[in-house]
Amino acid sequence: MHSKDFGIIAFEVHFPRYYIAQTDLEVADECIGKYTKGLEQEALGLCSVEEDICSICLTVVSNLVSRLNLDLRDVGFLEVGTETLIDKSKSTKTVLMQLFENCGNLDVEGVDVKNACFGGTAALFHALNWLESSAWDGRLALVVAADIAVYGTKATRPTGGAGAVAMLLGPNAPLVIDPGLASTVSVISQSHPAQAADGLGHPIDFVCFHSPFTRLVRKAFGWLALDDVRRATCVSNGEGCNGIGQNDTNRLDAAVVDSISRLVQPDSPTLDIRETDSICMKATADLFTDRVEPGLVFARQVGNMYTASLYTCLVSLLLSTPESRLRGRRVLLYSYGSGLASAMFSLRIHQTRTLSDLCYSADSEAPKDDRTVNPIFNRLLTQRTRLDIKNFEKLLADRSTLHNAAPFKPTHRPEGLFPGSYFLDVVDEQHRRTYKQVPSCQP
């Protein structure tokens, strides 16, 4: 009989060392406040020519293995969700297999999954299916979600970003994925993806969203609260609702209901999306701060990481919230990928299993205003290299010009790489890429 409680045992997060402040982009683009207030973004992470999708995946998996002292012979499934392609035939997973060579483990299921920002979630579901199947041989599963998002116009480039998340899955996990299909939504629509988020079950305590930019997350949460009020068969007791608009006693929050209920009455005037957004965001502002905001540290500071976006939000939530508030709680996760696929699923945080291996010190009781106590937040907030607009634009130009160059050897820039990072060393005449690793002891 299989063990129960399959879920996530540990995370690792990697993001670029280079970044530009959104305030600097606003000055350059002559639109003060548009990116920091309009999009609610603080910084944008970006990779130099030395980092590509393979290198950031190598880095995040290597860091996870090193931190956990993981024996890769214990991994039987490896899948990568990404829409950042180098080779149209070969999976990024194939490149990651070089990490398995020393231990002699070449029997590893999985390939890459591509469907815009949804690929990481599809890979996660595939890993869970393998763990719960008759094919499971008792080993662990490893899922990587990673992307480099670069946009070419001034109007879109503030919504870029880059990052990678590695997730180790297995039985008796501290983060248990709730079994069973509750809702998977595929919507044919040209409007914003917040509308594809309707439909879920179970009261929840925290919410993590796919996060192209923070403002869109705020809107999506407001729409879920609207859906909560609309679905309630009896507003007075909240029966039939999905839990977004509920307070700590699992009853519909009266303040939210009072503010939103006029939108769902039969005689309510028809409002456009912008007006509805405004009403719902205002009504849910306090709930957003409590249930969603803790998961947005990476999203604000790094930007849109495509497939990795949702899972960096989950890591941010775990690192920003005291253990006493996490134990026994349920987290709702919403994944969206253009093209169009979306899914809502939930996980529960186990009452007693250790959380300390999840991502450095998830059980830290450090004050919220002292995030640098955690090593990964310290790296994010104090150890990155800030670019000015001139060097930012040069970096983007270099990535565009050299994207398909061969043979080619990038200029090594250690100030743009964290210790332990993999980087592209050379591309030969046949476009074969060779990678090296920065020493972990580099300052």
353: domain CATH number?
Answer: 3.40.47
Active site residue 132: no
Same domain, 146 and 72: yes
Task: Decide if pLDDT at 320 tops 50.
Answer: yes
> What percentage of the chain carries pLDDT values higher than 70?
85
Which of 369, 395, 424 marks a domain boundary? 369
Which of 343, 369, 395 marks a domain boundary? 369
Q: Note whether residue 103 is domain-resident.
A: yes
Same domain, 171 and 237: no
Same domain, 167 and 31: yes
Q: Note whether residue 93 is domain-resident.
A: yes
Same domain, 359 and 392: no
Q: Note whether residue 376 is domain-resident.
A: no
Q: What is the tens place of the pLDDT at every residue in 357-401? A: 888 654 444 445 555 678 889 899 999 999 999 999 999 999 999
Q: Note whether residue 302 is domain-resident.
A: yes
Q: Note whether residue 327 is domain-resident.
A: yes
Q: Note whether residue 246 is domain-resident.
A: yes
Q: Note whether residue 378 is domain-resident.
A: no
DSSP string, 227-283: HHHHH-SBTTTTBT--STTB-TTSSB-HHHHHHHGGGSSTTPPP--HHHHHHHHHHH
Short-list 125, 127, 122, 90, CA closest to 108: 127
The angle subtended at Cα 133 by Cα 123 and Cα 79, nearest 5°, is 20
Same domain, 189 and 327: yes
pLDDT band at 443 (very low <50, low <70, confident <90, very high): very low
Same domain, 108 and 208: no
Q: Domain tally for the chain?
A: 2
Q: What is the tens place of the pLDDT at every residue in 124-167? A: 999 999 999 999 999 999 999 999 999 988 889 999 999 999 99
Mean per-residue pLDDT for 113-123?
97
Q: Note whether residue 45 is domain-resident.
A: yes
Using CA atoms, how far apart are residues 282 and 278, in angstroms rounded to an integer? 6
Burial of 415 (0-12, 13-18, 19+ CB in 10 A): exposed
Same domain, 249 and 282: yes
pTM: 0.89
Same domain, 166 and 286: no
Q: What is the CATH number of the domain that holds 70?
A: 3.40.47.10
> One of 50, 51, 79, 83 is an active-site residue; which one?
83
Same domain, 211 and 242: yes
> One of 26, 51, 208, 210 is an active-site residue; which one?
210
Active site residue 210: yes
How is residue 356 annotated by DSSP?
T
Residue of 94 and 440 predicted with greater confidence: 94
Task: Decide if pLDDT at 408 tops 80.
Answer: yes
Same domain, 169 and 145: yes
Same domain, 204 and 164: no
> One of 47, 117, 280, 313 is an active-site residue; which one?
117
Task: Give residue 283's domain range.
Answer: 183-369
Which of 321, 341, 369 marks a domain boundary? 369
Same domain, 320 and 424: no
